[in-house]
Chain A
């Protein structure tokens, strides 16, 4: 799985490309673990280039959400393709993880939640 990383102020935008499936799940976790080690706490997963995701892939997104929030950070997913969105909806994962329609909306969501966490 290929990744692109962008920075938008304090938010790291992770843009994986390909299929988020059982054969690739460790890759996502390992990228986020490295970001947390480097003290990044606001992570947006832009899923616009994920063509297909299975339950293992969803499990890895749930794990990453837990990692980031467990470290006191803020995590969101954005720009889900139709099939990926359906997996979120059917499993109700969209009730556990913040999901934004676009990368820009995701960035705004994270910035607002960061201010809330800081009590501002």
Chain B
């Protein structure tokens, strides 16, 4: 399969995350076919990254770049604003703390658990979350 791409850019609002997620669900269904669990995993992870961009970065817009081929599906979630605090992020990933959490703090944890690889980069005043899920399994 040749690589295909989709770019979405929207005003930072949870209602727009709902629309972007619906588009992503269409793509993941195409990529993963009957493997609905892997399709759902990357959709949930991307949803968390988009929520994070809306809620925590103070960005007015969110850009989502999706690319997929017969090996991998990648979702980049890009927002402006100050850099994400990597120390807080690592602390959020401590597994032993998960049972102590109450109403929040599950987003990053879910991303890590649901994708095959993820990266975070701060470049040109932009937060960039890169999520990858293998499609050829």
Q: A residues bordering B, Cβ < 8 Å? A: 19, 21-23, 52, 54-56, 58-60, 62-63, 66, 82-83, 86-87, 90-92, 95-96
Q: Are B15 and A54 in contact (CB under 8 A)?
A: no
Q: Are A59 and B103 in contact (CB under 8 A)?
A: yes
Q: What is the CB-to-nearest-CB distance from B25 to chain A, in angstroms, rounded to a whole number?
A: 8
Chain B residues with CB under 8 A of A52: 21, 43-44, 47
Q: Are B44 and A87 in contact (CB under 8 A)?
A: yes
Q: Are A56 and B40 in contact (CB under 8 A)?
A: no
Residue of A nearest to B95 (CB): A92
Q: Are A54 and B99 in contact (CB under 8 A)?
A: no
Chain B residues with CB under 8 A of A19: 18
Q: B residues bordering A, Cβ < 8 Å? A: 14-15, 17-18, 21, 36-37, 40-41, 43-44, 47-48, 51, 54-55, 98-99, 101-104, 106-107, 109-110, 113-114
Contact of A21 among B18, B99, B109 (CB under 8 A): B18
Residue of A nearest to B52 (CB): A55
Q: Are B107 and A55 in contact (CB under 8 A)?
A: yes
Q: Could you list 25 A-B pairs, sorted by A, with CB under 8 Å? A: A21-B18, A21-B47, A21-B51, A23-B14, A52-B21, A52-B44, A52-B47, A54-B44, A54-B110, A55-B51, A55-B106, A55-B107, A55-B110, A58-B106, A60-B103, A62-B103, A66-B102, A66-B103, A82-B37, A82-B40, A83-B40, A86-B37, A87-B110, A91-B109, A92-B98
Residue of A nearest to B13 (CB): A23
How many Å lie between the Cα of A84 and that of B40 in the bound state? Answer: 10
Known A87-B44, A87-B110: A22·B51 in contact at CB below 8 Å:
yes
Contact of B99 among A55, A59, A90, A92 (CB under 8 A): A92
Q: Are B103 and A23 in contact (CB under 8 A)?
A: no
Residue of B nearest to A90 (CB): B113
How many Å lie between the Cα of A52 and that of B102 in the bound state? Answer: 20
How many Å lie between the Cα of A70 and that of B99 in the bound state? Answer: 18
Q: Are B99 and A23 in contact (CB under 8 A)?
A: no
How many Å lie between the Cα of A43 and that of B21 in the bound state? Answer: 30
Q: What is the CB-to-nearest-CB distance from A32 to chain B, in angstroms, rounded to a whole number?
A: 13
Chain A residues with CB under 8 A of B44: 52, 54, 83, 87
How many Å lie between the Cα of A19 and that of B10 in the bound state? Answer: 20
Known A86-B40, A92-B98, A92-B99: A23·B106 in contact at CB below 8 Å:
no
How many Å lie between the Cα of A63 and that of B21 in the bound state? Answer: 24
Q: Are B113 and A21 in contact (CB under 8 A)?
A: no
